[in-house]
């Protein structure tokens, strides 16, 4: 089933990422970490559905999505970049994605941070975030989504790593085997990994090599 929702608010988080809030259909429920299919409600684009994660909480009276626009080609996110308040989206029923299984290390690459955002919000609300850690990989400093928020809520348990530039307060490099060994001292805990497909594959293999239980590594399927 598809639901029609109206855009209530648009806020730029980075040079190519926007937070879009819409109204919420009656009795529409989801769990933190879940996603849905989203399309623009126009004749040209309504059949072009793409998966996006909810970044709001189930109890919020609005729906929220954090969407990265790829402006180098004329795709759906490029079109979403030009939407304005009052425009409409079509959303489907919520489905699967990443679910929280307990304290651990979250490892995200770029827009792969989005399934983790509502999980973090829910944990902050309950006062249960303390023992979790976030490693967030991006190409440059301007690509880091919600950087100040993560520094605030994780209070020392947030590591930002940049592949292509050196910026104070950030690590330089990639999340490889050496990086994981240097920054994680307990591989028996849970791990949550989300990002580009090759990154997820490589990090999952590194974690298992370092002793992580394959059943304890959660990633989007």
The helix/strand/coil state of 39 is: strand
For 23-78, how does the pLDDT look when each residue is reduced to its tens digit (9 = 90+)?
999 999 999 999 999 999 999 999 999 999 999 999 999 999 999 887 666 678 88
Q: How far is 21 from 5, CA to CA, in rounded Å?
A: 10
The DSSP call for residue 184 is -
pLDDT of residue 221: 56
Alpha-carbon torsion angle 95, 97, 99, 104, nearest 10: -170
CATH of residue 171 = 3.40.50.80
Among 65, 91, 117, the domain-final residue is 91
The answer to whether residues 46 and 123 belong to one domain is: no
pLDDT of residue 33: 92
The answer to whether residues 175 and 85 belong to one domain is: no
Domain extent, residue 141, equals: 104-219
Among 91, 114, 144, the domain-final residue is 91
Q: How far is 211 from 51, CA to CA, in rounded Å?
A: 32
Among 91, 122, 153, the domain-final residue is 91
pLDDT of residue 71: 64
220 has pLDDT over 90: no
C-alpha 67, offset from chain centre: 9
pLDDT of residue 72: 62
| Structural domains of the chain, count | 2
**CA-CA distances (angstroms) from residue 105 to 77, 128, 191?**
29, 14, 5
For 187-209, how does the pLDDT look when each residue is reduced to its tens digit (9 = 90+)?
999 999 999 999 999 999 999 99
What b/e string do you get for 9-22 counting C-beta neighbours within 10 Å, with b at 16 or more?
ebeebbebbbbbbb
Q: How far is 216 from 188, CA to CA, in rounded Å?
A: 8
pTM: 0.92
> How do beta strands 50-53 and 133-138 pair?
unpaired
pLDDT of residue 130: 87
For 111-170, how does the pLDDT look when each residue is reduced to its tens digit (9 = 90+)?
999 999 999 999 999 999 988 999 999 999 999 999 999 999 998 899 999 999 999 989
The answer to whether residues 78 and 138 belong to one domain is: no
Q: For 110, left (φ over 0), alpha (ψ -120 to 50), or beta?
A: left
Cβ neighbours for 183, distance < 8 A, ≥ 6 positions apart: 135, 159
Two structure tokens written together for 31: 């769990």
Cβ neighbours for 185, distance < 8 A, ≥ 6 positions apart: none
Q: What residues form DSSP beta bridges with 54?
A: 65
């Amino acid at each position: 089933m598809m639901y029609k929702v109206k855009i209530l608010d648009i806020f730029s988080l980075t040079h190519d990422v926007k937070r879009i809030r819409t109204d919420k259909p009656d009795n529409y429920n989801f769990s933190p970490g879940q996603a849905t299919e989203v399309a623009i409600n126009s004749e040209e684009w309504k059949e072009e559905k793409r998966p996006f994660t909810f970044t709001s909480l189930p109890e919020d009276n609005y729906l929220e999505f954090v969407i990265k626009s790829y402006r180098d080609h004329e795709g759906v996110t490029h079109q979403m970049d030009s939407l304005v308040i009052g425009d409409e989206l079509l959303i489907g029923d919520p489905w699967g994605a990443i679910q929280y299984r307990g304290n651990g290390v979250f490892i995200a690459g770029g827009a792969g941070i989005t399934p983790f955002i509502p999980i973090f919000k829910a944990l902050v609300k309950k006062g249960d975030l303390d023992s979790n850690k976030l490693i967030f990989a991006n190409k440059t400093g301007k690509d880091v989504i919600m950087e100040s928020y993560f520094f605030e809520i994780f209070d020392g348990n947030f590591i930002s790593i940049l592949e292509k530039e050196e910026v104070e307060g950030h690590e330089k490099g990639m999340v490889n085997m050496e990086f994981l060994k240097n920054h994680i001292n307990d591989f028996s805990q849970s791990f949550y990994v989300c990002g580009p497909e090759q990154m997820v594959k490589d990090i999952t293999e590194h974690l298992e090599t370092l002793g992580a239980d394959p059943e304890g590594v959660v990633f989007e399927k």
